Structure 1
Amino acid sequence: MNLALKNTDMLARLPQVRGGYREQADLADVSWFRVGGCADILFSPADEADLQIFLANCPEEIPVTVLGACSNTLVRDGGVPGVVIKLGRPFGDIIIGSDGQVDAGAAVPDLMLSKQVANAELSGLEFFRGIPGTVGGALRMNAGAYGNDTATVLSHAYAYDRNGKRHEIQAHEMGFDYRHCALPQDLIFTAARFQTVPGDKQKILAQMEEISASREDTQPIKTRTGGSTFKNPGGADPEGLKAWKLIDAAGCRGLTQGDAQISELHCNFLINHGNASAADLETLGEVVRQRVKDHSGVTLQWEIKRIGREAM
């Protein structure tokens, strides 16, 4: 696609929808890092049918990107080409069944999901209390924390492909691995069903409180940051290699690039101290990767998703 294409020309080629299109939408406003450029066009579907109409009729050559809570995403300074889809309230319902099945829209915050399930005296989703994202993001990266992950509690998910076809995907078809889902990137998750079991409400809430306290004690959650920057080379194995240990051993704790810094509290977190650019954060991450490789021979893989264009 020609990046010089004017937004007005692009808008004229997009299908009529009931939701809203917004030109040059500032994505730094929604990014947890508070950095990044604009979306050429931001689309907020009115509901699932509206999303389906858009996908079925959007010209194939126009790029489409889905953005969740933007808690584990770095939007580059040049912005995101084409259309960015951000699912909102119409995709934020939670329905708790009598059989322990819990349906949640892709836009439901993981924290809210864990709380509502706990209040219903159901167990299994406590770990979502420690994940700063949404259900859609959890599906896309098999999000996990504190010894559990999405793969272990998912029954099935619903998604639309680039042609507007709806799919029901069973958990075993997701291709889950450590922080990974093998499904095509152009699939857009809209909802999921989780399986829970009855539990003692007070014990569930106590476990969630422990998770919350642990996060606050060990992660820089009150700063402009994202989730874990790099995947653990040892995967989910509690005895495996940890990214933060490799970063620390390479002497990168507290390392800076402009107003970007490797957290002193938890060195697998990038921090924007106020005036960092996305380029500062990404450059610092690459410096860390090189230093870790030089020190230990291990090449760290980004866990944070980086999207968009570099600034011109």
Structure 2
Amino acid sequence: MADYFVMKNASLKRYNTMRLDVTAETVIIPHTVDGLVEALRDHTGKRIVLVGNGSNMIFSQEHYDDNTVFIITILLNDLEIVDNEIVAESGVRLNRLAWFACEQSLGDMEFCEDIPGTVGGALIMNAGQWQYAIGQFVNWIEVFNYETQEVERLVPDEAFFGYRYSRLNDLPVYVLRSGLKTIEGDYNQALEKMLYYRHERYVKQPRNYANAGSVFKRPKDKDGESLFVWKLFDGVDLRGFRVGDAMVSEKHPGFIVNVGHASVDDVHAVIQECKKRVKDEYDVDLELEWRVI
């Protein structure tokens, strides 16, 4: 019996933080990492989309036929300390990772608090905040190579972590679990940092509406200096710009929010208008931070 559950013609609304009501012909939920490997092998030849928390992603269509298989990793959440490193499965939520490290009096994982994602997705995009990124803490990454059909272990140099990027995007692999460095810390100091990070994000970000996180990577000007997306948007009157129920957040214009029942087309129309206005006014090309499915 397969160690995974299959849903047919299923809604993905609860599996994406933008809460877009997209459907897929085949959605799989593995019970274990072995079940994930089994599902990947059983669906060789299909387009596979792994979904963790469902943040930092945007759909490209309203329905996906049987050629695309969605695998939801929410049950792959084992987290333990083995040989002085944290071993986390791909579905472990980042805030849980932060609290686990804090409870073990381990430091430098505080930045993961309140990042709406999972370990697998974080490794793929090298998620981070406050001058930290998860790639800094990786000892190894266990992956399934869909070309060789084997489980392999990669070291950080093979993943090539950069700003909101890792080579895992380009390799023929799916993340299974990872070993992360542990650094001795102080429980009270870690707790204080995490509560501070959470407060800062709640104050500045649009938590009252569904969203998929920051939309665009921070661009650079012709001199290589980083630019703030929200400042560019304010300069071209994008704060509050809306198509249907997709809107540039009035609280923080670096976010697009779903204020009701936004469609995929609504969201993409807002994205395109943002890109156009910034390009026309500043000659700056915006690059999506979101993963387009």
Q: Same fold (TM over 0.5)?
A: yes
Aligned residues of 2:15 and 2:51 also touching (Cα < 8 A): no
User: One-letter code of the match for 2:241?
Assistant: L
User: Where does residue 8 of structure 1 map in the other structure?
Assistant: none
For 1:64, what is the secondary structure of its paired residue? strand
SS in 2 for 1:168: strand
Asked if 1:267 corresponds to 2:246, the answer is no
Q: Which residue of 2 aligns with 1:252?
A: 238
Structure 1 residue ranges, 4+ long, deviating more than 4 angstroms after superposition: none
Q: Is the 8 A contact 2:3 2:38 kept in 1?
A: no
The 3-state SS of whatever aligns with 1:204 is: helix
Measured against aligned partners, the alpha-carbon deviations of 1:186-229 in whole angstroms (never above 9, x if no partner) come to 42111111112111111111011110000001001231111100
Residue segments in structure 1 that go unaligned for 5+ positions in a row: 1-15, 308-312
Amino acid at match of 2:185: G
The one of 144, 152, 158 aligned to 1:167: 152
Structure 1 contact 223–273 (Cα < 8 Å) conserved: yes
Aligned-partner SS, 2:7: strand
Give the letter for the 1:142 counterpart: N
Indicate the residue corresponding to 1:219 in structure 2: 205
Secondary structure, counterpart of 1:276 in structure 2:
coil
Write the distance in 1 (CA, Å) between the matches of 2:57 and 2:51.
8
Counterparts of 1:179 and 1:229, CA distance in 2: 12
Equivalent of 1:64 in 42, 48, 52 = 48
Report SS of the residue matched to 2:152: strand
Distance (whole Å) between structure 2 residues aligned to residue 230 and residue 216 of structure 1: 19
User: Taking structure 1 as reference, are residues 97 and 57 closer, same or farther at Cα in structure 2, changes over 3 Å only?
Assistant: closer
- How is 1:37-48 mapped onto 2 (pairs within 5 angstroms)? 37-48=22-33
- In the alignment, what sits opposite 1:176? 161
Paired residue for 2:91, among 107, 110, 115?
107
Letter in 2 for 1:167: E
Q: 1:51 aligns with which of 16, 36, 45?
A: 36
Structure 2 matches for 1:77-116, cutoff 5 A? 77-81=61-65, 82-89=68-75, 91-97=76-82, 99=84, 101-116=85-100
**Shift in Å, 1:106:** 0.5
**Distance in structure 1 (CA, Å) of the matches to 2:194 and 2:203:** 14
Any conservation in 2 of the 1:42–1:86 contact (CA below 8 Å)?
A: yes
Following the alignment from structure 2 to structure 1, what is the Cα–Cα distance between the partners of residues 83 and 145?
31
Cα distance between partner residues in 1 of 2:183 and 2:3: 39
3-state secondary structure, aligned to 2:26: strand
Which TM-score applies when normalising by structure 2?
0.92
- Aligned counterpart, 1:209: 195
Does the Cα contact within 8 Å between 1:260 and 1:284 map onto a contact in 2?
A: yes
Q: Kindly provide the CA deviation profile for residues 126-169 of structure 1, in whole angstroms up to 9, marking residues without a partner as x.
A: 11014110001101100011111011111111110224311111
- 3-state SS of paired residue (2:95): helix
The root-mean-square deviation of aligned C-alpha atoms, in Å, is 1.9
Deviation at residue 56 of structure 1 after TM alignment:
2.8
The count of corresponding residues between Structure 1 and Structure 2 is 287
1:122 aligns with 2:106: yes
Q: Contact between 1:36 and 1:79, CA under 8 Å: does it hold in 2?
A: no
Alignment partner of 1:197: what SS? coil
- Partner of 1:198, secondary structure, is coil
Q: Which moved more, 1:106-115 or 1:42-51?
A: 42-51
Equivalent position of 1:157 in the other structure: 141
* Structure 2 equivalent of residue 299 of structure 1: 285
Instruction: Give the AA of the match of 1:233.
Output: P
CA distance in structure 1 between the aligned counterparts of 2:229 and 2:171, rounded to whole angstroms? 25
Letter in 2 for 1:201: Y
**Structure 1 residue corresponding to 2:3, chosen from 8, 14, 18:** 18
